[in-house]
Chains A and B, each alone.
Chain A
Amino acid sequence: MSAAPSQNVAIRTGRVTRAVIYTLLILAAAYYLLPFYIMLVNSLKPLAEIQQGRMMALPLEWTLDPWRSAWSTAQIGVSPTGLRPYFMNSFLMVVPAVVISTALGALNGYVLTKWRFRGDGYVFGLMLFACFIPFQIAVIPMAAVLGWLGLSGTIAGLVLVHAVYGLGFTTLFFRNFYAAFPTELVRSAMVDGAGFFRIFTRILLPLSTPIIIVTVIWQFTNVWNDFLFGASFSDFDSFPMTVALNNLVNSSTGVKEYNVHFAGAILAALPTLIVYIVSGRYFVRGLMAGAVKG
């Protein structure tokens, strides 16, 4: 497969145009960072400053106590454990769920575009519409299904639920990516006698990095941040992080420690952020061309 050194196909731009582009991009970055600024500064100040209404200002007194509290001493249930013990539960749930749904989505997308069969359009349509089922209506019947399978209150049950409800999107992403992929390559490989899996692993998969990233980002984020299923189908031993974060943030009649909430929210998002940053490195097209000239 030709990973041919691609030429610079970016639009040819002058100095002024580039300045405008950079300005626009940086302005956009400011818009995206604004709420993060609010969260960050408020996670670094004592609660009293927030209660006095100084929410937009930099802290008068800088403190890391909210972060320590959110990590290890904040009240999540009856014991002051912080968010720390719940991270592992979330990883045990997220990693298998993302791997399973992404792998199946890639295979489904491959079949639906390169191994067309009669009625494949309807199959795709039905799978795609699955993206839209409101999760609220799935809670009760899913609970019955999990109970029937003996998976109530287990991490395996949560993995199953997230994998199933992720399939619609993962199939969609890969199907649409592979739809633009030249079918001739697959044909010629078939003529050469390559089998179903061989074509997939040797020809399509190596070129799928950008869409794998998009899919992993989507799935990782959704599964990691899910609250409804986490709260409904988990148990004392399998509580995911979001349920813990929710317990930290949403106490009804207690004192609201906003600084700890913000610190907790950033902590809880760190794994997802790391996924974005690390996977983003593989997002790049035409590495060689980029190295030649910007």
Chain B
Amino acid sequence: MRTLKKTLIAALALAGSTAISVAAEVEVLHWWTSGGEAAALDVLKKDLESKGVTWKDMPVAGGGGEAAMTALRARVTGGNAPTSVQALGFDITDWAKQGVVGDLNETAAAEGWDAVVPAALQAFSKHDGKWISAPVNVHSTNWVWINKAALDAAGGKAPETWDELVAVLDAMKANGITPLAHGGQAWQDATVFDGVVLSLGADFYKAAFIDLDPAALGGEKMVEAFTRLAKLRSYVDDNFSGRDWNLASAMVIEGKGGMQMMGDWAKGEFLKAGKVPGTDFVCIRFPGTQGAVTFNADQFMMFKVGDDAKAAQLQMASSIMAPSFQSAFNVVKGSVPARTDVSNEAFDDCGKKGMADLAEASASGNLFGSMAHGHAAPAAVKNAVYDVVTAAFNGELDPAAAAAELAKVVAAAKQ
């Protein structure tokens, strides 16, 4: 017993004296725990280890990061904040307002991040002129994934407008398959609705979802958007509610479903099933939204650390922003790099298209945060929109009532 105590004291003393080398570690709270994503993150871990920085992994999956954000609150309250936390959109802004985040300006200035990261992303990565987080990727959400054989049977031409979309869906229905594979979960309903709203005009999307203009939220065009949503509902099978998004993808892969409206992470499901873009499936922008992109971007937000741990934190940010990592990670993840100067060589057709679309949308000012994924408005507003969209999709509200309700709940949540 006594020897044990002695050993412990010795160990503690040792830990104290070598604090500087021990501190060369980063604790990372994240929710990337599935095969591909985690493997991609492992690349980052190895890279940091080669530079002498230890990676302490703190994965908490669930609810698209909700569980991790809950854990983060407990950790910050307990005075035990991690070095770095995976975070999305307005969550970053909210944490920045608490005055607990770090400052990456030193590295950002040296590496010229301002010039290569799209302005729409910088709106989240920077707070009060300071870089506080390092963006890893950009997902875009206004994609449609179509089974090639089903499309050929329905005329063969990928739809580019709303009317063409309806025509293809009708043809698929006549061919006896479920035209639209969809999972009835609030965030999936909202993802489809993002595309619908964007298809009514980039200006309308911006007015309604970015500026939260009550006139746009409750106006005629929004009624039209809900009418289109109801129309899309009519192409979904009756068993849609509660279905996971990847089971909807499986329907399209199997040919039981014609198409799915989902962000670019769906591509991973197709690739894993051995399907080839262009041959087995087709990726198009939501009809009527070519040229505009709604995005969500994963970032690693940095928390305030002591001077001894600062170097490791900056090293991590620098490694995340390295073009080689951005390319390697996003090839696996299905998204596109968060900086626009990365070579598209390693990407497949859909990835190349995604990168070109992103650069184009960013240049023309048509790159918008996705409402469904927390990049257009803070959490309270986002969830209020979910409530209305999911009620409308489930037929509890007619289009006119839904638009009126949308304006009302957003106003209430905004205060």
Interface residues, chain A, CB within 8 Å of chain B? 51-52, 75-80, 139-140, 142-144, 146-147, 152-153, 227-228, 231-233, 235-236, 239, 243, 246-257
Contacts and interface: CB of A to CB of B under 8 A. Distances in A.
Interface in B297-331: none
Contacts of B56: 236
B268 A152 contact: no
A123 to B, nearest CB: 30
Contact of B244 (A76, A153, A236, A256): A256
A78 B78 contact: no
Interface of B: 27, 31-39, 41-42, 45, 55-65, 67, 70-71, 73-75, 77-80, 244, 246-247, 250, 253-254, 263, 265, 268-269, 272-273
Contacts of A246: 60-62, 67
A77 B77 contact: no
B265 A253 contact: yes
A278 to B, nearest CB: 32
Given A77-B59, A231-B71, A236-B58, A251 B77 contact: no
B33 A251 contact: yes
Main SS of the interface on chain B?
Answer: helix
Most-contacted residue by chain B among A77, A79, A248, A253 (CB, 10 A): A253
A255 B34 contact: yes
Given A231-B67, A248-B33, A143 B78 contact: yes
Contacts of B63: 250, 252
Contact of B45 (A78, A228, A236, A253): A78
Contact of A253 (B34, B75, B77, B247): B34
A144 B77 contact: yes
A16 B247 CA distance: 49
B36 to A, nearest CB: 6
Contacts of A236: 27, 56-58
Given A78-B45, A78-B55, A236-B56, A255 B35 contact: yes
A253 B63 CA distance: 10
Given A246-B62, A251-B32, A253-B37, A78 B42 contact: yes
Nearest to B73: A140
Given A79-B57, A147-B78, 18 more contacts: A77-B59, A78-B38, A78-B57, A140-B73, A140-B77, A232-B73, A236-B58, A247-B31, A248-B33, A250-B33, A251-B32, A252-B64, A253-B34, A253-B265, A254-B32, A254-B37, A255-B36, A255-B269
16 contacts: A52-B254, A77-B33, A77-B59, A78-B38, A79-B42, A147-B80, A152-B78, A153-B80, A233-B74, A236-B58, A250-B62, A253-B34, A253-B263, A254-B37, A255-B34, A255-B246
A211 B39 CA distance: 47
Nearest to B27: A236
A48 to B, nearest CB: 8
Contact of B35 (A75, A146, A235, A250): A75
B75 A152 contact: yes
Nearest to B64: A252
Contacts of A80: 38-39
B22 to A, nearest CB: 13
Contacts of A228: 70
A77 B38 contact: yes
A75 B38 CA distance: 7
B74 A254 contact: no
Contacts of A51: 247, 250, 253-254, 273
B78 A146 contact: yes
B265 A250 contact: no
Given A140-B77, A143-B74, A232-B74, A252 B31 contact: yes
B94 to A, nearest CB: 15
Q: Which 7 A-B pairs have the closest CB atoms?
A: A254-B34, A251-B34, A147-B78, A232-B74, A77-B59, A253-B265, A152-B78
B34 A75 contact: yes
Contacts of B253: 51
B79 A152 contact: yes
A251 B61 contact: yes
A265 to B, nearest CB: 15
Contact of B57 (A77, A250, A254): A77
A23 to B, nearest CB: 35
A75 B57 CA distance: 12
Contacts of B74: 139-140, 142-143, 232-233
B58 A232 contact: no
B194 to A, nearest CB: 16
A78 to B, nearest CB: 5
A267 B278 CA distance: 41
Contacts of A140: 73-74, 77
A147 to B, nearest CB: 3
A277 B62 CA distance: 32
A154 B38 CA distance: 25
B26 to A, nearest CB: 11
A270 to B, nearest CB: 22
A166 B9 CA distance: 33
A222 to B, nearest CB: 19
A231 B41 contact: no
Given A77-B38, A255-B34, A144 B58 contact: no
Given A139-B70, A147-B78, A254 B244 contact: no
